[in-house]
Structure 1
Amino acid sequence: MNLSILTFLTQDGLTTGAIYALVALALVLVFAVTRVILVSQGDFVAFSALTMASFQAGSLPATLWLLTVGAVAVCIKDIWVLAKHRALGRIPFVLAMHFTVPAVLWLTLSAIDLNSLGDGWKVLLTLAVVAPLGPILYRLIYQPVAQSSVLVLLILSVALHISLVGIGLWMFGAEGYRTQPFTNASFMLGEAMISAQSLLVLLVAIALIGALYLFFGHTMYGKALRATAFNSEGAQLVGVPTTMAGSTAFFLSSLIGACSGLLIGPITTLYYDSGFLISLKGFVAAIMGGLSSYPLAALGAFMVGLIESYATFFASQYKEVIVFTLVLPFLLWLSLTTNPLDEEH
C-alpha cells in the first residue's frame, strides 16, 4: 500500500463514516425519546436516494403515493378518535394538518416539468416527500403501543422494516439506481486526488451534526426533547407533550435519513433493500455510544467507516464480518456495566 492508496481509502472511509454517523445519531435520538430501535432508519436513506433518482429521471416518485396513503391513514385514525370524544368540530383542522403537504406536492409536481428543475429544487422536493414519512409511521405504528417493552418495540421495528422492503420493491423495482453527483470537481492533495463530492458529504454531515447540537443545546423545544429522553413522566408532569416529542424525534430521524440518502446516492448504487445494511452499521456505531451518547456514536461511526474501507483493501470478502464483530466487545462491556434493575425502571 502506498500513500495514494492510503489517502483514497481514508477518504472513502471518512465519507461512508459520515453517512453512518448521521444514521447512528438518528438511531440514538429515536431510542432516547421513544425507546424504539428504529431498524427501518436505513429505509429512509434508500427511499430518499431512489426518490431523487426518480426526480432526475423526470418521473413522479412512488414515495409520493406512500406519503399520501400514510396521510389518509393517520387522518382516518384522528377522525375516529375525535368521533369517540365527540369533538367533530376539529375535523377541518385535522384535514388541513395532514393533507396540506401531500396536496401541495401533488399540485406542484403536476404543474411543472421535472426535467427543467435544477438539482436544488429536486433536493427540496425529495426532502418534502421523505421527511414526513417518519411522523406518519410513528403515529400509525408506534404511538398505539408506546408503553410496551423495548423487546416488543424492536419486534415491531423489524416487522415494519420487512414491510417497507416489500413496499420498496413494489415502488422502485429490483434495479439499483445511482443519482447524479452534485459536482464532478476534484483536486490534488500532494499525489492523491480528492473528490469534491466526498468533501461535500463530509461538510454537510458535519453541518447537520452541528445543527443537531445547537437544536438540543440552545432551543426550548430541543431541551424539551432532552427532558423527555431523560424522564418522560417528569417531562409530562411539567407540560411537555410526550406524544409530540415522539413525532418530532421521528421527523428528525426521517429528515436525517433523507439527507443521508441524498449524500450517498451519487457515491454508491442503492437498491430497494439497501437500507438494512446501512441501519446495521449505524447501529454498530450507536452501540459504541451506548445508545445514549451522540459524540461517541458519531466517533464510532467514523471508526466503522474507516475499518470497512481498510478491510475492503486487505480482506474484502470478510469486511462485513470485521465490521459487525466490532459490536461484540461493546455489548459485553454494556452488559457488565449496566444495572438491569435501573434499565427495567
Structure 2
Amino acid sequence: MSLWKKKSGKKTHGQIQSKMNGEAAPKKKHRFGKKNKTDQIIRIQELQELMAKYGDDVDPETIVSMYMPHRKKQRIAAALLRLDKLQVALLGMLLAIAVLFIAAFMQEKMGNFTINLNRLELYRKGISISETGTFEDATARLTANTVQDATNMSIEDLPDDLDGIDGDHNGKNYMAYTYYLRNAGKEDLGYIAKITLDSCAKGAEEAVRVAVWRNGERVVYAEPAADGNEEPGCTNFVSDDVVCQYEEKDFLVGNVDRYTIVIWMEGDDPECVDSIIGGSVEFSMNIDADYDDDTSLLWKFVKDIKDTITGDKPIDAAGNTAPNGSYYPDREITWENRRNK
C-alpha cells in the first residue's frame, strides 16, 4: 500500500538528493506520469528524517512506502499487552492443555509395544502388572523398547530362553518382552487380554510374526497366507487389527499369570519381499475386565472411601497404589508363591 499528497512549490526527494550531490535538479514530472521508483519511493522513516533536516523543502508528493519491517511481530506484541490478566490466564491454560494433550498422544504411541491395564475396573481392584515376578514396581502401564532397523530372520534363530527373562530382552532383529499380571485384590474376577495391531506401513504386517507365551505355553500368530490358510506352524490373526485374545474367567485372588511377547519379521514367509523394506508395525496389549459395570464413578469412589474408613480391606481410593498382597496375612503374592502354580 502506498500514498501521496500534493503541495505546490516543494522540492521532491529526487531534487533534494541532486542538490546534496551537486547535480542539476531533475524536472518535476506530472503527478500522473510515470515516476522513477529509485527517486520517488521512500519509506516513512526516511521521509521523516528528510523533513526534520530540510523542513518545508521536502515535497510530500513523494510516494511513501507503508512497509514497516517486523510490523507483524510488533502488532502481535501490542495485542498481547492489551489483554487483561484473566485473558492471559485463560490463554495460558489453553496452551498448557494443548501441550498435555500432545504429550499424552505421543506417550500412547511411544515404543512398538505397550501393555495397558484397565485402571478403573482392574487396577483399583488390586490387579496390577509388573516387569518382575516380585511386583516391586507394580503399575497399570508398561512400555517395551523399540527395535530400530530390524531385518528379517527365521523363527529357528530365536533364542531358547525367551520366556525365562523378565522385562525387555530385545535381540538384534526381534522384540522380546516379559511381564506378570497379578490379582492381589479382594475378589475373584475375570479378564480379557487382547493384542492389537495399531499401525503398519508398506505391508510389513503380511510377514510379521507374534509369538505369545502364556504361563509357559507358546502360540505363534501371523496374517493368513496368500491362499487364506494358516502359515506353517502359525495361528491366523483374529482379524485385520486383532492379533489374538486370551480370556481368563477365574482369575482368583493370589493368582499370577506370566506373558512373554516376541515380534519379528519372518524371512521364510513368501510375503517377506523387498517391497516391505522400510516398513514398520506397532502393537499393544490391552487388559480389560470381562464384565460390564454400570456403577457410577462417584459411587465407586465413595465405596473406596467407606472401605478405607471401616478397614474393610481398603484399596487406595485414588487408584495410584497397587496392593502388595496384604490381603494375605502371612505373605505377599509373587510369581514364586502364586496360587495357580
* TM-score for both structures, normalised by structure 1: 0.22
Structure with greater helix percent: 1
Judging by fraction of residues, say which structure has more strand.
2
Structure having greater relative contact order (Cα 8 Å, sep ≥ 6):
1
| TM superposition score normalised by structure 2 | 0.22
Q: Which has the larger radius of gyration?
A: 2
